[in-house]
Structure 1
Amino acid sequence: MTSVQTFGVNDAYLPFIESLQTVQQRAYAQAAPSGQDDPLTDLTQPPAAATNILTDTEDSRLEQMADEKSGPLSLQDKQQDQVLHSDLEQFGYDIFGRVPSTYAPLAGIPVPLNYQIGPGDSIIVQLFGKRNVEYKLVVTRDGNILVPEYGPVQLAGLTFDEAEELITSGFESRVIGVKAVVTMGQLRTVQIRLAGDVMQPGVYIVSGLSTTIDALLATGGIRHTGSLRNIELIRNGKRIAKLDFYNLLLRGRMDQEVFLTHNDTIFVPPIGPIVYVGGEVQRPAIYELSGEQTVEQVIAMSGGLLPTASLTHSHIERIQSGGTRTLIDFSAKSGVAGEKAILNTKVYTGDLLRVLSLEDELSDVVLLSGHVKRPGGYQFRSGMRVSDIVTGADELQPGADLDFLLIKRENPRTLRTEAMYVDLVAALTTPGGKDDIRLQSRDQLIVFKLDQNREDELANIVRELDVQATDYRPARVVEARGAVRYNGRLPLQEGARLLNVMALAGGLKPGADMFYGVIARTRHPSRSIDAITFNIAAAITNPESPANLAIEPGDRLYFFDDKGSRSELLNDEIDLLRQQASYGADEQLVTIQGEVMHSGTYPLTRGMRASDLLCAAQGLTRKAYGLGAELSRVQRYTDDDNAIEHLNLDSGTLLGLCDLTRRMSTTEINPSDSDADLVHYTDDQLNPFLKPMDQLTFTEKSGWVERATVTLIGEVERPGVYAINRGESLCEVMQRAEGLTPQAYIFGAEFTRGSVREMQQETLDELHGQLDELMIELSLSQGFNKTEKAPSEWAGKQDYLKAISQLEKATANGRMVIDLERALTCSAKHNIALEDGDILTVPHTPDYVQVAGQVYVPTSHLYDEDRKISDYVDMSGGHTTLGRLKHTYVIQANGEVMNYKGSRNSSRMARKSVMPGAKIYVPLDVDRMNGTEKAQTWVDTLVRSAILAGIVL
């Protein structure tokens, strides 16, 4: 350190005669704008331009991992390849891309104490106390400042700290009662040179307060071919400092921060040895080496490892001396010692260090999902059971299935997905019991909702099982169809039995058949179909018995109920059985027809007898003939001729044997107590084995009559609904009803029958179809001068179309014209046999006759037996000019129709035939009708003919 110099002063000199306090306050005010706060002139060339503020909008690696991990827990493993997903760039060079203005020397900043004073610097000295004065002194080229009255003071080569001490001590020792304050004024500018691998080499003028870093940042920086770790500062031909940019970038400090002086040279040599670092590190990049020799040091430069990094799975790609590339693997090194050995591995220039990630899987975890209050992951502990995860029913949401829980498990040896069934109620009731099974790491517990489709919920698991399947090893999937709560394909537990699968399918629906079900099983690799029957009642009675069948992968279970056709449910399997029948082999199918509950075609199972097929059809109907059944069987002969053989069986015996096997399956009877009945079951004459293509037929009882009723309405002594026997007559029912009342109008009785209504409606429908065809023919037919006649013809067609639309509304009434008076005599000739649903309506005697059609006043007239038909027409004003009297017809009250013209035109016949309640109708004159009238009349006639097409008795 340079010694402090002293100089003489004139102690008696006072420029002002003022108080000391006033002098000091004025001095402070004057010093404020002219001292350290005085702005410094920025002489950097070119001037630093203002730059925009940079923001990092791209998610970091840690943020990306946080996004991945913040979702729901999943046991699905992800593939961890050895590809580096980020491009590697040279570390540190991006600092020169956009230079913030704050890197340039700023005016008004405090001068560092180690700043070396040089020619051109301005020194401000302020004296306070006995003497108040300010000196602005500039360092001369020979390094001196010239202090008035005291002479030169050598400052060149001194730091600002040393110069401040020299000046203040000199003034204070020479002038008694004076305090000196030294500050820097305007700083000097220096000329420097940039050389080597820099963006813009050349000569620059910078502030004397600039350092090597300031100069590089202000002039564009270093090329990617230049070194960041060996930057040289040359002064007077000698290297006085070496700059390692990594110290600033990685540690935030500089070991040597030298201010630039005049004629300094900054030299950037070419880049040195490099190493590539990628993968699970904080800053994947290309790094320049400067003394780093180990993996540990390289990883430290890259910011350290990410939490997902795995050193044991990492490696180094290295270029060998012969120009080939090789791989240095760390997988053989494990444990603490192995990790230490990996970190101490030497690195060489050109090495590519791939730091790979851990296996992306959850271990020591159990997942709970489904209809629970808190789904998610739970820590796995050795010995953990189901009851440790689902501690009670309060853990479940309302509507959860307490009877069943599914566990999805990964087999650690085969890596295959497996399913396990758990009785949840039993596990919660008896913790630690056999149903409270032990869990394994990565188990997934699924609790189902009662009203949720399980096939949809388990679709992903089923898909995984399908992927694992081969031709010889089918997917561990079972399919449930029919009378279970959830139909579809479901995962199968190894060793699962019938009742387990039934529980997985949500249990049976109400009305399910407890004694008959079918398993369709595909044999591999032949893919042939076998049918196996099961008895649910027997399996429930004794779950450990063979009745609780073992279920194999690919089985299709069919559950039946009282509704629907069983053959339709089995239709797919029946088609497969038919397709697999080859030449010389019959289809493994049997058929049951007739008076059974569910007739149709059924798969032939091993050991199936006639009574078993009757059980499959759920027994006989009420109409079945209990003493007769026929088994039809195809007999094949050597000459290739086939014949049908018919065997007579006893329906009652077969039904009794069916009931016997059902009761034995539920232990209602002891098998030892029914040995005699079992002899009948195994009797090939009473209960033969079935063969392919057998057909079992049950006939109806002779003379069977379902419950039938007739209805009597109107003027009957005891009207109402009466049950009838088969063949019972109308006369017999009327006798039970005690006959007719005195007011009954026998001639006007109306008798309707359902079968007649159906026949009449068929006639109307057929007639309408004929009219549609007629319209098509009229539209397509060719005629003479059709072009000229088109308007009138088209008008006629429109009329016919309107008439047809009226016909569409017509419905049959089912009326039969009967002679009730003769029927009530109970004679064999006029007897009327009744059918179920017949209705007899007997009105009271009317006193009017209706007149309608082409008369002037269509109305009703008081009945008079002496009047003729023409008299009633005349009483309505007579027929109009469009009416045709000779075509008049009468519809009697009993439904008979009588024409006015012809042989019945005598006044005696007309008067006798017109009865009370009759309707006289005068039609239009056809010769005077237009197209519409013709169509309506024609269609009306057809309609009435169709309605009256029933049986007339």
Structure 2
Amino acid sequence: MKKIIIVLFLVFAVFQSEALMAQDLLKGTDLSAVKVDYLSDSDIAKIKAQLVSNNTTIEQVEPLVLAKGMTASEYAKLKVRLGSQLATAPTAVSNTDAFDEKKGEPSRLQEKIVNKKVKDTLNSLVFGSELFDNPDLNFEPNLKLATPVNYVLGPGDELQVSVYGVQEYSASVPVTMEGKVNIQYVGQIPVSGMTIEAATQKIKGAISRVYSTVVSGQSQVGISLSRIRTIKVTIIGSRQPGNYSISSLATVYNALFLGGGPAKNGTYRNIELLRNNKVYKKIDIYNFLVNGNQSDNVGLKDNDVIRIPAYSQRVTLEGQVKRPGIFEMKSGETFKDLLSFASGFNEFAYTASVNVLQKTSKDFKVKDISSSEYGSYKPLAGDVFRISKILNRFENRIKIEGAVFRPEIYSFYEGMRVSDLVAQADGLKEDAYTNRATIVRSKADLTTEVTNVNLDKALAGDVEANILLQKEDVVTVYSILDFKEDYKITIDGEIKKPGVYEFHENLTLNDLLVQAGGLTGSASKRVEIARMIKSDEINDVNPKRVQLFNLEILAENNEQIKNFELAPFDVVNIRRMAVYEKPEMVTVSGAVNYTGKYVLANKKEKIYDVIQRAGGLTAVANIDGVKIKRPIQAKQIEAIENVNLNLGKQDSIQNKLTKKLKEDLKYAIIPVDWREIVKDTTDKTNVTLFPGDEIEVSVYNESVKVTGNVLLTSEIPFNKGRGINYYLESVGGTDAKGWKKKAYIIYPNGKAAVSSSFFFIRSYPKVLPGSQIVVPEKPETRKMSTGEWVSVGSVITSLALLIVTAFK
């Protein structure tokens, strides 16, 4: 007895610990006795709900449950059981709200069936497989429709019973497992197995025995289906076979969609619906795919079985049809039925016959089916039908081109002649050459031959000239303009629209001048016309290549110009006036009395002359700060681009230089030594000015700017007699990258000076007021690695040993 009590106590302890774990996985203190195999599905569901409520996962609580005594093997089993519940293919998500939040409409409740679709790659070419890959097409029943009157009630359904009028009552009553509904004060009413219509009458009769006003008509009874039960169906032979919980309103297509459709070798045309162990219905999906007929899409009942057998016969249709693929054929169906499955031939198909590759018991064979056999030929299993393209040939084409009003392709008919085709093309153009037209004709061996036609005679009714045409003939009517040379006239020089113009007969020089927009203001009175020399014989005595005509445009000989007749290929040149230069200007800015733009009075005007015209320098002008900014001309950049520096294709020095001149440096600076110019105007810095030059006179500045790689960019007051070191020390010296010995000075007039050295003695240029000291950056140098130092040491050691050996 004592042993029995101990055993019962242990069993109780085990189940108690399992129950505790199921109730609270996180709050349990000892999980060492937990056996996951003994936990029920409801216990696993409670653990999953607990994890969800704590916003955590089983992986996150692994350290916690192991610390509370659960073994690693039991934790692995628990993880697998929790994961298997989440990964079940058909999952039911409870919809407890009878209100559609998106549309604001009341709806009937139903367990929502969710099934993850998997792309069918094995059956991708089989006609009908795409039906089960489309997530937007699932055939699920519409729960907002009125309940069918023949709907059979069963456990799991829920009815909404309402009494309204003098007496009122409303309640949602479920159909119990015993098949009854329990209505308050009325009692239990059996409804399982009854249609909704019959159940409604039965419930109304029961209510009327309790509510007296229902009999008298003062109160009314309303009964509706508020929740629909789920039923179990089994699918065999699908890509995702198994037991499925689906709506009691679901149909065969809905179940097939959930099961992923037929498997690799499954039939699409002989699917069996088994009910009560008998074949209730055979489903042919092609009825829906081809005709849209859903007569096979019958409703399902609890414990129905959908069986998808293997297909018996499939054929392949390739080529020029609207829907090529693999099709399943039933016994007795013909090639015409197969064409209807593929939606028929496309517009490029050769329809006179079809080639089919058949399989025998030993090898392959080829058969041609004519169009008359389409309705009688019955495809065999494994047949491959190939629909080829029509040939790129025409049955009745003929073409006319050239000098007719409608050059085009026309339809040919027997007995057609040249005159008939010309009339069909609306006749000849005015420029048509009627003495000869050509007909290019294809012979039987596909080579071509040319036949000539006299159009004048053919159109006049000459039977021999008006020859018979054949299909694929190409008739060409030539234009007299095709034989005419394209003559041109060229005019250049001081004309508004120089260029090449069309030559016309009787074209005069005056006509050409008007056509070219007239003369420019710089045109002189001289006109030169060059004309080609034409001769059938070579004259070695005469070396001239052209004949020149020199004319003058004057009032007294204007008629000569007006009446000078031009010839083809003449070249007319209008000369420029000997003296015709527009005034060119330079700009003076800065510390002068009258700044602004000044016209260059002569071709050799110098900077001194212009500054004197500008009133001379002001009292605040820096005598050492006069410079000229000369714009860089496009021809200078072009000259640099044309110079080959032989730097190689990979070197970018020339490209960088060109880019700098184009984008960065818009001016070239010319330093001016004004002190020397004042002493002697013939000094070399008194340069001749060019149009566009800008003379800039800077204002006297008593500071020196220090910039570049220094600790502080600043301006230091000028201290007479102090050198560059003084100013560098005033800004804190150079930084780590500063290259002091390469420091340079930019003077106010734009001139630059650099330091120099002689016998290790470095001298720096003189600093002037308004100057700018620039310290450049040291170039980057690569330090030698340890291996390189070792190599150098080895070389030095070898040399030393060699020297020692030599002097022994």
Larger RCO (CA within 8 A; separation ≥ 6): 1
**Quick check: which has more Rg, 1 or 2?**
1
TM interval, short-chain normalised: 0.3 to 0.5
Q: Select the structure that is richer in strand.
A: 2
